[in-house]
Amino acid sequence: MSKGRMKKSSQPAEVTSKGLVGLDKLLEHRSRLGACVLLAGVDSMTFTSLKQLLKETDGNLGAHLRKLEDAEYLSVSKRFENRKPVTWYRLTKKGAKALQNHLEALQTVIRGARS
């Protein structure tokens, strides 16, 4: 293949573009995607646990989780444990479906890139 020329793909370009169109803008940021992936594997998780696992600051993580909550991808509950307030997050059905669709779209992009 000469310089400046593209190799023709056996896969149609639509495979990649369909995947790109199917990506969820909310889940494109690593912190929001990471939070949803972590929450998909458990019933619920505390803010502190998410912060430690995602290695985020309170402010950054709070802003990202708020966006997911506003989109109804997460539900939030606050309780007192040992007289301290603890915030718990849970992935909603809508959030689980959005995550599944986003991951499927990523797989489409990956398959298109490998062909």
Report the 10 Å Cβ neighbour count for 95: 24
pLDDT of the residue at 65: 98
Q: Whole-model pTM?
A: 0.80
Does residue 39 form part of some domain? yes
Instruction: Tell me if residue 49 falls in helix, strand or coil.
Output: helix
Q: Is residue 5 part of a domain?
A: no
**39 and 80 Cβ atoms separated by less than 8 Å:** no
What is the Cα–Cα distance from 91 to 36, expressed in whole angstroms? Answer: 7
**Max CA distance (Å), the chain:** 69
Nearest residue to 104 (alpha-carbon basis) of 18, 35, 32:
18
Q: Which pLDDT score, from 0 to 100, does residue 53 have?
A: 98
The domain in which residue 50 lies consists of: 15-114
Q: Is residue 10 situated within a structural domain?
A: no
Q: How many domains, in total, are found in the chain? A: 1
4 in any annotated domain: no
Instruction: Tell me what pLDDT residue 46 has.
Output: 98
The 10s digit of each residue's pLDDT in 30-66 is 999 999 999 999 999 999 999 999 999 999 999 999 9
Supply the CATH number for residue 55's domain.
1.10.10.10
Q: What are phi and psi of 75, to 5 degrees?
A: -115, 150
Name which residue leads in pLDDT, 9 or 90. Answer: 90
Mean of per-residue pLDDT scores for the chain: 87
**Domain assignment of residue 9, yes or no:** no
